[in-house]
Every structure is written in structure tokens, then in C-alpha cells.
Structure 1
């Protein structure tokens, strides 16, 4: 290495360390608290003052998935609030599958919003959090000013076909939601790999189409996972944070959301055919596993989605992006969210 190259490398490394220290200082400004909601203790991270933007994470994630959004929206005059959902992270995880129905998780959100001292919030949600978000818009539209759903469009209730029955018919018993159904089974398979390896595999997976978990080596060869290089948008420190929480609290809480799918179907019979009448923006990555599942693009871009969600304003496809777009394309996603919700802001 030449003298000039050495100086350049040193300066680059110094700038990187400065940026990392600045990020750490910003993260330290995020407030953490425990709130009693709907009979459980919920961990909530928040920063900023102003209209509330409520961020709901998916699986296998935590409040931490919204770290970029919390900092950006707090700096833009909003109060950014991101809980660990029931069963995740530092929030209580009731043991029974029946404690994870849509009525329970929406009840949690209603109580959380009430604890914030506001009448309405802007809602931004990803993956399973978006499923909770759609239920919240269905059951309590009075609480939501506008909703930005990342990766997951509305899924209207089929009047005759239970969710798992339909998934088995369409995708087979190796489809990931089907594989999650047996209590304890997936937990034991994950344990063979370790939390860090599984989270690393899921968050870096970019294979389009319905996710399949074979009964043998469901997440692939462990050595191959060890060789996966983390993308620029997800650091070793990020992985360590996720893994530390899942190593301590396990995956059962998150998996129980999937195990309650058929129960949700039974509980929501009265809402069959109901439209979501909240202003909505949908954002998805072009490589997203759900978006590239057969039939999904036709629903999103055809008449189906707009018929079910008549106040749907826009569907944005971020080309080249995968499932975890709020982390992978944080700045672009933040801009897309902000340009939408500012239409409904009064400041």
C-alpha cells in the first residue's frame, strides 16, 4: 500500500468511525419505557414531539427495525413511537396461542394509543405489523389518520376457506406459514442453527416467490449461512442486537401469530366483505417474497386491492429491493412515507 493509499484509508476509516459515533449518540436519544396495555407489559421506544407516527414491526424483528425511521421522523417534527409487539423483544409473551389473535393484538394497540394521550395516529407497519395494521384499520378506523403499509397488502377474508387450508392447497406443506403451525417444532429447528444464523438468513434472503422451508435443513447449510456477507444496510451490531433478544426470549411469541391465523378467520366472520376506509399508501420491494408470490401482483395492480381499500392512494414498487425495505432503502422509504402523511398533517 502506497503512502497516499494509507492516508486515504485512514481518513475513510476515521469518517466511518465518526458516523458510527454520531449514530450511537442519536440512538441514545431514543427513550425506552414499559407501558401496561391490555393486561401485558409492552416495551416502547420513542423519540420526538408532534403528531404521533406509530411504527409496527414484523417477524422476526423488533422495535429496532424502525431505528432509521425513528430518528428521521423525530427530526422532522413528529413523535415516532415503535413498540415491541406482544410476544417480541422486551414485551410480555403470554404462553397460549389463543393470546395472539387479531383481537388481542389490536387491543394492545388501542390501549397503547390511549396511553400516548392522542386521539389519532399515523400508522406505518411492515410484514406482520402490517397485518396488525390492517386489522386495526378494520376494527378502529377512528384512531388512524392514514396508513402506510410496507410489503403486505390487505388480505380480505375468504368466506369459505381457512387460511392454512388454503396455503396447504396452493403452496404445499413446506410453505413457511404451514411449517410454523406445530407448536415447538420450528423452535427446535431454529435452535439447531442458533438465533443469529436464522435471523441472518431471513434478513438477507432475496429469493423471489413463496418462501419454502424444507423439512431437512430448512434454512440451508449452516456453513453457507456463516459465509453470507451482511449487506451494507445491516451491520454486525444490528445482528447482535436481534440475536441477543431472541436468544433470551425465544421465537415462540412471534410464531404464535401464525398459529392463530385460523382462529382469526373464525373470529372475523362478521367482517367478511368489509372495506378498509382509511387513506392508504402501499410500498413494496420489487424482489419481495410476498409481492412475487403468484397472484399477488395481479391483486395489487388490478382492481382487487382498490376495491377492498377504496381510499388507496398509491402503490409504490421499489425496484431491486427485497422484503426488509424500511432498513434496506431507509432514506427512500422515509421520503415516501413523509410525502404521504404530510398531506394529513396540520403543522
Structure 2
């Protein structure tokens, strides 16, 4: 991508790859699973052209950033520490934070732990999930959707990797282009029963928002690293619950704008829609200023509805 500079910085004991473009106030973008800095390619170009310094790292375990071998090296404390150290490396006190999917969870905890470092937060897809002191999150998901719920399937190291890594390009394609709302259920009968796995679906044309060049870039990076780093985030959900006990009931007190699609797998499962519409989201995030639900848009809205997302980001952060 023209004008995007790449470098490696040392943060929190690891080497992190960072892409950036532009000058001005920093907008820091955090990607999700199974993505990379590249997922923000459209927003990097749009925001840098509007007078901002757009910065997008490969998060721990992804792309050209280090991937520690230990599963326990991917707790939310590690991930937030990476972000804070990255902000320090940029030479600024505060950033505008924009995040999606797992990046969104890291973003929420960054706002919770270090609100002094965040001017405002634009969150995509995953709302704040307050800690339930009575039940661990994976246990709650298993009780709700059973052992075949995708996050439950992701828990065992090595199992899902063997399913996905056989044809990483097709697996990435199926995950990025899935438009099936509701909870992703991955039956254990094999790849043919798994709607996200390679070989599970007839090859279909790429959507207009995802080119073969884009897919090839993702496949080239995940072909080298595999999906283990990203899957390890899910494998720490119960440990994160233990580590964050002291923050039970604490509100997120930074200005927030939330954007999701009405076909998003998160919006259409786990009681998310009701949580947002009932006022509970606003209770937990009192400075939530706006919720945007994009019609006909699925989970990867930063790519599928890139221009709309970029405009929403700019129209929010320009007020600060």
C-alpha cells in the first residue's frame, strides 16, 4: 500500500510489527481474529488523508509480530500491556482507539485499565462484556450453546489448528466471508460439517470487498504462523476471568461509539442485541454516545462496509 511505512518496535518483551501512515493525532487500530494490521487498510488510507496518524500493529501472535509459545502468554494483561507499551513508543500520552473483534476486547480492557491513555474509543462488533462473578465465560458459553460452540471447540491446543492449517487460504476465506448470523456451531464430525473450515463449502466467488490479492496476503502470513497465536486468545478467556476479579462492576469511562452489523455473529448471539437495546450497555459504559447497526452487514464490517466505517470513525473522533 502506497505510503504505508512498516517497522518493528519492542514492546512488553516482544517485537511487534507496526504499519502506519500520516501525521497528526494518533488513531490506533487493533484487529481481531483471523486478521492482521491489513484489515484496517481502508481506514489507514482514509484517516491519514484527513490529518491523522494511523497506526495498526499485528497483535501478539499474529503476522510479523512475535508469537510466544506458551498459551498463558496471551492473557488480557499481556495484551493490554502490549498496547500501552506501543502507545509509549509512539511518543504520545493519548490515542484515539479503534478496534474490532478480539481487538475490541483488548480495547475495552485498555479503556478499563488505562483510561488516561485513551481520548475516545470506536468499537466494532464486540460490546463491553462485564464480568459475571458467578460463572466463568467459557463455562457459560458451553451451558448456553454446548460443546460444539466455536469458542468451546477452540479451547484445546492443537485440535483446531489441524483442521484449519491444511488449507489456510480457504479457511481464511470461509471465515472472512461467512454471512451466517447467530452462534457459530462447529460439529465435531469433521471439516465437512464445519461451516468455517477449509473444504467445508463449495468454492464461492469472493465478495466485492475482498479481492484475491487481499486473500493471498492473509494466506501468506497465516501460512507461516498458523492460527495458534490467535486461538490462544480464546484459550485464556477463563484465566482472564480469574485475573480481572478486582474489576468486577467497574464501568468503562471513556467516550465510546459502537458499530456493528445486523448480521454480525456477535450481535445475533450471546444475548448481545438485548444487552445493547435494554440499556445495560449504557449502564456499564456511561459515556457511550452512539450505537450504529449497519443493515445487511456481517461481522467483518471494517472491511465489508469500509467507507461507512471510516466515515463513522472520523465523524466521532473529530469532536475531541
Sort the TM-score into its range (normalised by shorter chain): over 0.9
Partner residue in 2 for 1:124: 98
Q: CA shift at 1:214, angstroms?
A: 1.2
What do the CA deviations read for 1:44-83 (whole angstroms, capped 9, x no partner)?
0000000000000000000000000000000000000000
- Local SS of the residue matching 1:299: helix
Partner residue in 2 for 1:87: 61
Partner residue in 1 for 2:183: 210
2:77 pairs with 1:100: no
1:288 to 264, 270, 288: 264
- 2: CA distance, partners of 1:221 / 1:126: 22
- 2: CA distance, partners of 1:294 / 1:223: 28
Q: Is the 8 A contact 1:197 1:226 kept in 2?
A: no
2:247 to 271, 274, 279: 271
TM-score (norm 2): 0.97
2:131 pairs with 1:168: no
What do the CA deviations read for 1:7-58 (whole angstroms, capped 9, x no partner)?
xxxxxxxxxxxxxxxxxxxx13100000000000000000000000000000
2:228 pairs with 1:252: yes
Q: Is the 8 A contact 1:198 1:219 kept in 2?
A: no
- 2: CA distance, partners of 1:222 / 1:113: 37
TM-score (norm 1): 0.90
2:16 to 33, 36, 42: 42
Q: CA shift at 1:224, angstroms?
A: 6.0
Q: CA shift at 1:160, angstroms?
A: 1.2
- 2: CA distance, partners of 1:276 / 1:221: 36
2:298 pairs with 1:322: yes
- 2: CA distance, partners of 1:222 / 1:189: 8
- Local SS of the residue matching 2:135: coil
- 1: CA distance, partners of 2:99 / 2:27: 10
2:47 to 68, 73, 93: 73
Moved over 6 A (4+): none
Higher helix fraction (1 or 2)? 1
Q: CA shift at 1:226, angstroms?
A: 4.9
Partner residue in 2 for 1:232: 208
Q: Is the 8 A contact 2:164 2:197 kept in 1?
A: no
- Does the C-alpha gap of structure 1 residues 220 and 261 become closer, same or farther in structure 2, counting only changes over 3 Å? closer
- 2: CA distance, partners of 1:110 / 1:44: 14
Partner residue in 2 for 1:136: 110
Q: CA shift at 1:176, angstroms?
A: 0.6
What do the CA deviations read for 1:241-285 (whole angstroms, capped 9, x no partner)?
000000101111000000011110000000000000000000000
- 2: CA distance, partners of 1:220 / 1:256: 18
Partner residue in 1 for 2:35: 61
Q: Is the 8 A contact 2:99 2:123 kept in 1?
A: yes
- Does the C-alpha gap of structure 1 residues 47 and 222 become closer, same or farther in structure 2, counting only changes over 3 Å? closer
1:334 to 305, 310, 317: 310
Q: CA shift at 1:191, angstroms?
A: 2.4
Q: CA shift at 1:225, angstroms?
A: 3.6
Count of aligned residue pairs for this structure pair: 317
Larger radius of gyration: 1
Structure 1, unmatched stretches of 5+, are: 1-26
Partner residue in 2 for 1:8: none
- 2: CA distance, partners of 1:338 / 1:74: 11
